[in-house]
Amino acid sequence: MINRYIDPEKINVKEECAEVDEIYAGERVEGISLRGFELVEKAEDVEDGIDLVLNGEIKVAGFHVLVSGDLSEEAVSALEALIGEVLNRIKGVEYKFRKEKVVVNLADMDQKTFECMAKLLYDAFKKIPAVDRVRVKVILDEGEFEKELNYAAKIHEKRENLFRKSEEEVDKFYICTSCQYYLPGHGCVISPERPSPCGTTWTEAKAAEELEVVKYYSPAEKGEKVGSEYEGINSALSAVTEGKINRVSLHSALKNPPSTGLYSELIIFYDPSRDAFGIVDRAYKEKTPLGLTFDEMEKIMVGQQVEGFVGASYVYLKSEKFLQDDGGWKRVYWVSPNVYDYVKEFLDPDILQRLKKG
Ligand code: SF4
């Protein structure tokens, strides 16, 4: 079952400069691969328009959209999902991952490709009833890109802190079925303390669902907690996955781990020889101490529950409930260098020392 629904009034934008259709949303594109980022921000004094920041050879593509209107910070943050939704519908464009980890694959490109993307984004944002004025900035200049990427990371971190909640404080979690396009029977659970493996937070899922911009986040009453599972989440997952996933322990990689979608930022793996865990990021191309690369592990576990492997986002590493059922950070013995750079800002020095030794 494909339970992916995008409100056509808000998304189905057309421009003569490109072939745009929902059928291209699942297209795998090979050719040029650019680093990207996405950011939507509220700015009351913004004027309608499009800016292309360009200088020489194009190696990066950042998308920064400024909007005015009656929008909460949660809603603005949720609107970021719209960027990928729109751009993925262009023939010859594949937009993957979220926030500062975006990758844009293009079959071909010139300046007009990006002008066209900007126009389509402008039209899509203009269609949101709560949005008044829109300015789309596409940053193709490398120097400017690095500046804006760092700025976007700070805004995203600020939002993370502002929106922080515990699982006990809320009644509902969200289930995302976006990847059912490619992985029938898959669903990701998004709780306040476990963002999706591709990095969508509970607040973003909640706002996206309330704004009805994208409809692949469905709310699920969490129900009673039994052990480390929630009865309501188990039944909701069973319903959206047609019985393929019936039990999930959100904070375990060993027993009923969450199924992992296509865009996982990290993989947490269990190493039986050490009775401990390792964490590898997608950009790490070498073999992990388990003897497998990220890509090899992803092939084994994507779209299903495989005990010993689970996808996660970087933000999950900051969760108070990180791998709670399996012993948390005490049982992690190895992380890839990018993961180390991320966790060194907040982990206990003793744990960092152990991770450094590997
Ligand atoms: S990885 Fe999960 S949360 Fe992310 S788009 Fe796929 S189903 Fe949704």
The DSSP string of 281-309 is: ETT--SPPTTS--HHHHHHHHBTS-BTTE
Mutate to test the pocket of ligand 1, among 262, 304, 314 (most ligand atoms within 8 A of CB): 262
- Considering the domain delimited by 8-162, tell me its CATH architecture: 2-Layer Sandwich (3.30)
Residue with structure tokens 């990180």?
322
Atom of ligand 1 nearest to the CA of 200: 3
Tally of CA atoms within 13 A in the half-sphere of 146 that contains its CB: 2
- DSSP reduced 3-state for 323: coil
Q: Where are the domains of the chain?
A: 8-162, 167-357
Domains 8-162 and 167-357 are alike in CATH topology: no
Q: Which residues form ligand 1's pocket by a CB distance below 6 Å?
A: 176, 178-179, 188, 196-198, 200, 261-263
Contacts for 197 with CB less than 8 Å, ≥ 6 apart: 188, 258, 260, 261, 263, 264, 265, 266, 311, 312, 313, 316
156 DSSP assignment: H
CA 174 to centroid of ligand 1, rounded, Å: 11
Banded pLDDT at 330 (limits 50, 70, 90): very high
Number of H helices, E strands in the chain: 10, 15
Chain segment 260-296, per-residue pLDDT in tens: 998 899 999 999 999 999 999 998 999 999 999 999 9
User: Encoding tokens for residue 258?
Assistant: 């969450």
Question: What is the distance of C-alpha 295 from the center of its chain?
Answer: 18
Interatomic CA distance for residues 331 and 206, integer angstroms: 32
Nearest to 267 by CA among 339, 168, 194, 345: 339
- Which CATH code fits 167-357? 3.40.970.20
pLDDT beyond 90 at 3: no
CA 177 to centroid of ligand 1, rounded, Å: 6
Atom of ligand 1 nearest to the CA of 197: 1
pTM of the model: 0.76
Interatomic CA distance for residues 353 and 62, integer angstroms: 35
Atom of ligand 1 nearest to the CA of 198: 4
Chain segment 167-217, per-residue pLDDT in tens: 999 999 999 998 988 899 999 999 999 999 998 889 888 887 777 777 788
Percent of the chain at pLDDT > 70 equals: 96
Atom of ligand 1 nearest to the CA of 176: 8
Lowest mean pLDDT among 9-18, 152-161, 304-313: 9-18
Please report the pLDDT score of residue 228 as a whole number. Answer: 86
Interatomic CA distance for residues 262 and 115, integer angstroms: 28
Interatomic CA distance for residues 238 and 221, integer angstroms: 13
Backbone conformation region of residue 253, classed left if phi is above 0, alpha if psi is from -120 to 50, else beta: alpha
Contact 29, 91 (CB under 8 A): no
What are the C-alpha distances in Å from 45 to residues 40, 49, 51?
Answer: 15, 13, 16
CA 188 to centroid of ligand 1, rounded, Å: 6
